[in-house]
Structure 1
Amino acid sequence: MDVAEKRDDSSTSPGAMEDTPLMRELTRDHARRRQLEGLDFEAPQRTRIITVANQKGGVGKTSSAVNIAAALAMGGLQVLVIDADPQGNASTALSIEHHAEVPGMYEVLVDSTPIAEIMQEVPDMPGLLCAPATINLSGAEIELVSLVARENRLKNAITELLEQREHEGLPRLDYVIVDCPPSLGLLTVNALVAAREVLIPIQAEYYALEGLSLLLNNIELIRRHLNPDLVVSTIMLTMYDARTRLAAQVAQDVRDHFPEQTLETTIPRSVRISEAPSYGQTVLTYDPSSSGALAYRAAAHELNSRTAP
């Protein structure tokens, strides 16, 4: 056998094939599928209120909010998604009506309408509820300025909802997940004041850590002046491309800075995750066997397995 033949033979050997990014991804997905099959999540001791926030747009914030919520509901938990972003993308992804005539979070924040009156059940997803955002919410930033205790409007509404459900003997909500705008206005401030935990999705790309310090400074200001219980409990790497050294380096940098908060599970860059909202679905129902769906289910399981702060 000459040198060329030896080189060809080694490139197609089983060991060489197993070490490609594609083979590693397939192996990981197979292991995740077996681990998650038929798995029920353990309910937390009390309702966990988590705000999904990042002032940088395009990092998978809304995708993470709705898919984590859907994965928790698939694990047998009771979950409410509050769409506090006037764009209403979370409502779209969950196939919830949110045209201007539909009562939504604007009425809750400005008119003090109870959340119980505006939330809707998510189709084909038992245990998952959504409080929608309509275009009217874009005016709430201005109208909230003149209201009493304007930073506490959402916190008070959630507290009222939880007490009402307990009083009426309804199932306790295990999670309330708030999706907020990619900016630090009064809507985001309300979301941060209402929550006990912050989940920050970080894109595994060059500018990932840029702007994160600003977000953390703003969270610290909220904690110091408005919500002393607030903590950054979870950081999740999104749009992760295992084929690039850059993604691995960014992931390592994030884990070095935030070893306790960063999830082991990374969310891959995926066409399926991007396509799902246009069909009014999460990736978990749009393509349940895809890498993106399995990753969000694994991330939700990891999040739920961690002790709440």
Structure 2
Amino acid sequence: MILTVGNTKGGVGKTTLAVNIAIARALAGRDVWLIDGDRQGTAQTAIAIRAEAGHLPGIACATYPDGATLRSQVQQQRAKFDDIIIDAGGRDSTALRAALILSDMLLVPFQPRSYDVWALDDIAKLIDEARAVRDGLQAFAVLNCADPGEVSADNADAAAAVADFPQFELLQTPIRRRKSFANAAGQGLSVLEAKPADKKACEEISALVSALF
């Protein structure tokens, strides 16, 4: 399975989700390769911190912000891994476009803010372009850094706006804004591993991973 976590809008929390998903799959016994397709290299940094601390399971990670390199490397090495997770985007980049062509599935995180909802139109157009080249790309949107609590007008309005975009399906597995995600990331960990455990954060990531895989 090749999964891209991507959006043309920056600051939506895609790297946090990509790292958490990659580690969750590794904890489930999968052989995982995490690819950082963003020039900022944040995912690569998180995995480097993880490796230096000796956390297991280890996660294979590479940085390919150039689309041509990303495409060639994935095509050459995809058979070596059970799951490939690509963190791409923050803007319309060659890496994001290459990832969409290669992927079985796209996860589009967005926050319950007007700018994020407006930006969904850009990634929707890229999905259309990718599907014109290859068949079978599944695309899902997930509300990330959602307002805490079960009832939020902003959460509800943002989720409802996804109905305007037939290119992707909204997953009913929102990830709420929790400090535990940042705390875990700073240690190169998933919230599934961090101590003390944030039960709600663990439940949310587990539900997201189950919905995707």
Q: Please tell me the TM-score bracket, short chain as reference.
A: 0.7 to 0.9
Amino acid at match of 1:49: I
Q: 1:291 to 1:94 in 2, by over 3 A?
A: farther
Out of 41, 62, 73, which is 1:132 matched to?
62
Judge conservation of contact 1:180–1:187 (CA < 8 Å) in 2: yes
Judge conservation of contact 2:2–2:102 (CA < 8 Å) in 1: yes
Residue 162 (structure 2) pairs with residue 254 (structure 1): yes
Name the counterpart of 1:237: 143
Judge conservation of contact 1:121–1:129 (CA < 8 Å) in 2: no
Out of 78, 81, 99, which is 2:34 matched to?
81
Q: How does 1:55-74 map to 2 (within 5 A)?
A: 55-74=8-27
How far does the alpha carbon of each residue in 1:36-59 deviate from its partner, in whole angstroms, 9 at most, with x for none? xxxxxxxxxxxx111111111111
Query: 5+ residue gaps in structure 2?
Result: none
> 2:35 & 2:25 partners in 1: Cα distance?
15
Partner of 1:285, secondary structure, is coil
How far does the alpha carbon of each residue in 1:163-210 deviate from its partner, in whole angstroms, 9 at most, with x for none? 4x3xxxxxxx22111011311122222222322321111112233320
Identity level (%): 29
Name the counterpart of 1:274: 182
Q: 1:260 to 1:186 in 2, by over 3 A?
A: closer
Between Structure 1 and Structure 2, whose CA radius of gyration is higher? 1
Q: CA deviation at 1:300?
A: 0.3
Task: Give the structure with the higher percent strand.
Answer: 2
Given the two structures, how large is their TM-score scaled by the length of structure 1? 0.60
Judge conservation of contact 2:46–2:187 (CA < 8 Å) in 1: yes
Number of positions where the alignment pairs a residue of Structure 1 with one of Structure 2? 210
Given the two structures, how large is their TM-score scaled by the length of structure 2? 0.84
Q: CA deviation at 1:65?
A: 0.7
> 1:219 & 1:211 partners in 2: Cα distance?
13
Name the counterpart of 2:3: 50
Q: CA deviation at 1:230?
A: 5.5
Partner of 1:279, secondary structure, is coil
Q: How does 1:155-170 map to 2 (within 5 A)?
A: 155-163=71-79, 165=80
> 1:87 & 1:230 partners in 2: Cα distance?
30
Query: 5+ residue gaps in structure 1?
Result: 1-47, 98-119, 142-150, 166-172, 305-309
Q: 1:71 to 1:153 in 2, by over 3 A?
A: same
Name the counterpart of 2:122: 214
Judge conservation of contact 1:153–1:190 (CA < 8 Å) in 2: no
> 2:112 & 2:143 partners in 1: Cα distance?
6
Q: CA deviation at 1:62?
A: 0.5
Q: CA deviation at 1:249?
A: 2.3
> 1:256 & 1:210 partners in 2: Cα distance?
11
Residue 206 (structure 2) pairs with residue 300 (structure 1): no
Out of 73, 95, 100, which is 1:192 matched to?
100
Out of 286, 291, 296, which is 2:194 matched to?
286
Partner of 1:94, secondary structure, is helix
> 2:37 & 2:194 partners in 1: Cα distance?
24
Out of 77, 85, 90, which is 1:182 matched to?
90
Partner of 2:20, secondary structure, is helix
Aligned CA RMSD, in angstroms, stands at: 2.8
Judge conservation of contact 1:79–1:174 (CA < 8 Å) in 2: yes
Judge conservation of contact 1:94–1:282 (CA < 8 Å) in 2: no
Q: CA deviation at 1:257?
A: 4.7
Judge conservation of contact 1:81–1:177 (CA < 8 Å) in 2: yes
